[in-house]
Chains A and B, each alone.
Chain A
Amino acid sequence: MTTQEHEPLSMTGGGVEASEEEPSPSLVELIGAEVVGLVRVGFELYSLFVRTLYYCVRGRREPGAVMRQMFEIGNRSVFFLTVVMGFIGMILVLQGGLQVKRILPDFSRVGATFLDMLVRDLAASIGSLMLATRVGAGIAAEIGSMVVTEQIDALRMSAADPIDYLIKPRFIASLVMTTCLVVWSAAVATLTGMLTAYVTFDVNPRTFFNLVMVNEGDLITGLAKCLAYGAAIPIIAGHSGLMTHGGSEGVGWATTRAVINGSLAVILLDLVISTAGYLVFGP
């Protein structure tokens, strides 16, 4: 849809000369087209988000669909997230310990700093990057296949809005399940980090599990991130799924776009919420 609407825009703007320049557009033109495309996608995402919220309040009540999506998004991601976050805990403690080793003689602060970082940022952000990959790709592939096989048109023809039927249950499920999965992955990362600290640096688990540096500001920032990521991932993936066109290659493209845009959204929201958290709650 984005590319289709590009054509008339550049034609009316450039006239005859533009069509001669077509093979090699200038850098400014490329950047401009990119920006216009980005703004348009931003508006589409916003409109999709608002309509999803509307249907959450006024739409049909279907707990069955939401539960099914919760299983799909939540339970099926547990194994993947456990493996990844387990290794993340080990990596972070290992690197943190190596870093500390260069300036300080003792490792007693490693655990406290690690837990602080984990609660404030890393559990939510890395966990959600992984969810953007797994859940986002899954949603985009599923909805994209539906678009390609014209099931979405069939839904529209029977007067059912695909947003109400398809996006809304995934949105609610993701909102709930991202928070649960992040809490679980924080626990896993803490456990493996504790083990690594004990085995590699000889830090007593009792010393490691030190929550002195975690305050309510950290907790609020972390939970706000969970909610923001949980809302952003299904919207972005659903958008790129609904925009699919052109057979099996189109489904592949939609999936790629969902993963990329989801991950970028997580990083962008991380920057925004972290800055806001730092400014509101202070150091």
Chain B
Amino acid sequence: MTSAASNAPAGTERPASQGRKRPPLHGPPPHEPGLLQEIGGGFLGISSSLGAMGILGYQIGRRLLSLDFDRGELLKNLYKMGVKSVPIVIITALFTGAIVVIQAAPLVVQLGAHGLLGWGAGFSILREIAPLLTALMINGRVGANNTAELGTMVVTEQIDALRVLAIDPVSFLIAPRFLAMVITLFLSTIFADALALLGAAYGGFALLNVDPKTFYNSLTGSDLLGVADVTSGLVKSIVFGAVMGLSSCQYGLDVKGGAPGVGRAVNATVVASAAGIFVLDYFVSFTLD
């Protein structure tokens, strides 16, 4: 299209058909959008994506409640999202466990609280670090990938083809992905909890010479840490999974304009999910405490 346009003699109706040039509205055309305009535009953009996500969430919820979704697609996505993410979850969890211990080390040494290391590391890992970092890593891998896949389907008009065949794209494509993502994140968080504690126990052994047995005792022995801490982390993981599922599907279905459009959508979804994860993290922590 661009080559056709550039072949046309200059000065014909190019500006009107091009669309790149801003059409002059009332008054002189603004060459630079002002700060206020940019803020307002950003706010409107966020609101419209949030609204679209809400509508999509409603549609998905209706399909899920009436069990009207494709089981085969669910299993396929569980494999693709869950099983394939296992290596990343393992590496992230082991390393973050060790990092938590390194960060706590100066405090532990200054206070001489070697016996409390297991409790301190366990508290932050189970409640915060493991769900959060697992969500961030899976957001990068699965969320981005999901958007790219759906975006490619939109660009190559496969979604329209589904509609033509009278197959509901939401129950065939979107709802299984959403459900698979929530389940993946929930299970990965349990897995990451265990591995991060393992990393913390051996990190503490290597760095502070705290015996893993002491670590384990202070983790489970005292009344300071309970099942409520574990469930708090798991509730978070479900919320994060829902956020990632909704935003990655929404941005994927919203792709316009070929390969660069897919790249932009992937970028937008990763950023939006990360922001959503942190914002909701606070509110979930606050309501569950």
Stretch at the interface among B64-72, B123-131, B168-176: B123-131
**In the complex the two chains form, is B278's CB within 8 Å of A138's CB?**
no
Contact B102 A275 (CB under 8 A): yes
CA distance A135 to B134 in the complex (A): 20
> Interface 1/0s, chain B 238-273, versus A by CB < 8 A?
000000000000000000001111111011001100
Digitize A90-129: 1 where CB-to-B-CB distance is under 8 Å, 0 elsewhere: 1100110011001100000000010011001110010001
Contact of A283 among B105, B116, B278, B289 (CB under 8 A): B105
Q: Are B282 and A94 in contact (CB under 8 A)?
A: yes
Inter-chain contacts of A95 with B (CB < 8 A): 123-124, 127-128, 285
Residues on A facing B (Cβ under 8 Å): 34, 79-80, 83-84, 87-88, 90-91, 94-95, 98-99, 102-103, 113, 116-117, 120-122, 125, 129-130, 133-134, 137-138, 140-142, 144-145, 148-149, 247-253, 255-256, 259-260, 263-264, 267-268, 270-271, 274-275, 278, 283
Q: What residues of A have a CB within 8 angstroms of the CB of B109 in the complex?
A: 283
Residues of B within 8 A of A248 (CB): 148, 151-152, 155, 258-259, 261-263
Chain B neighbourhood of A255, CB < 8 A: 144, 148, 263, 266-267, 270
For A80, A120, A137, the residue with the greatest tally of chain B CB atoms inside 10 Å of its CB is A137
Q: For window 130-148 of chain B, which residues contact chain A by CB distance below 8 Å? A: 133, 136-137, 139-141, 144-145, 147-148
Complex interface: stretch among B6-14, B26-34, B89-97: B89-97
> Contacts A87-B282, A142-B263: A274 and B140 contacting too (C-beta < 8 A)?
no
Bound-complex Cα distance A283 to B104 (A): 10
* Assembled-state Cα–Cα distance A212/B87 (Å): 40
Complex Cα spacing A268 to B94, Å: 11
> Can you name 5 A-B residue pairings with CB atoms under 8 Å?
A91-B282, A102-B224, A137-B271, A148-B259, A248-B152
A134–B270 contact, CB under 8 A? yes
Q: Please tell me if the beta carbons of A87 and B279 are within 8 angstroms of each other in the complex.
A: yes
| Contact A274 B103, CB 8 Å, known A95-B127, A141-B266 | yes
Measured between beta carbons, the chain A residues less than 8 angstroms from B96 are 267
Question: What CA separation (Å) do A267 and B155 show in the bound complex?
Answer: 35
Residue of B nearest to A125 (CB): B99
With contacts A94-B286, A255-B144 known, is A83 near B270, CB below 8 A? Answer: no
From A121, A130, A278, give the contact of B274 (CB < 8 A): A130
Contact partner, B148, options A125, A149, A252, Cβ 8 Å: A252
Contacts of A90 in B (CB 8 A): 282
A98 to B, closest residue via Cβ: B289
- State in angstroms the CA–CA spacing of A267 and B221 once bound together: 30
**Which residues of A sit under 8 angstroms from B95, Cβ to Cβ?**
267-268, 270-271
Q: Is the CB of B281 within 8 A of A87?
A: yes
Chain B contact surface mostly: helix
Provide the residues of chain B in CB contact with A274, threshold 8 Å.
99, 102-103
Residue B106, interface by CB 8 Å: yes
Knowing A83-B278, A83-B279, A252-B263, say if A137 contacts B88 (CB, 8 Å): no
Please determine whether B99 and A249 come into contact, CB atoms closer than 8 angstroms.
no
Give the residue among B98, B274, B286 with the most A Cβ atoms within 10 A.
B274
Most chain B beta-carbon neighbours within 10 Å: one of A79, A95, A103, A274:
A95
Bound CA–CA A130/B286 (angstroms): 22
Residues of B within 8 A of A80 (CB): 271, 275
Q: A56 CA to B13 CA in the complex, in Å?
A: 45
Inter-chain CA distance A96–B253, complex, in Å, is: 40
A94-B286, A95-B128 known; A252 vs B88 contact (CB < 8 Å): no
Contact B140 A259 (CB under 8 A): yes
Q: Are B103 and A121 in contact (CB under 8 A)?
A: yes
**Complex CA distance for A141 and B105, rounded to whole angstroms:** 39
In the complex, what residues of A have CB within 8 A of residue B141's CB? 256, 259-260
Q: Does B44 contact A (CB under 8 A)?
A: no
Residues of B within 8 A of A84 (CB): 274-275, 278
B96: nearest residue on chain A (CB-CB)?
A267
Determine whether the beta carbon of B262 is less than 8 Å from that of A252.
yes
Q: How far is the CA of A149 from the CA of B36 in the complex (A)?
A: 35
Q: How far is the CA of A129 from the CA of B261 in the complex (A)?
A: 24
Determine if B211 is an interface residue (Cβ-Cβ < 8 Å): no
Given contact pairs A248-B258, A259-B144, A264-B91, A278 touches B278 in the complex (Cβ within 8 A): no
Selected from A125, A145, A260, A263, the residue in CB contact (under 8 A) with B260 is A145
How many whole Å from A194's CB to the nearest CB in chain B?
Answer: 15
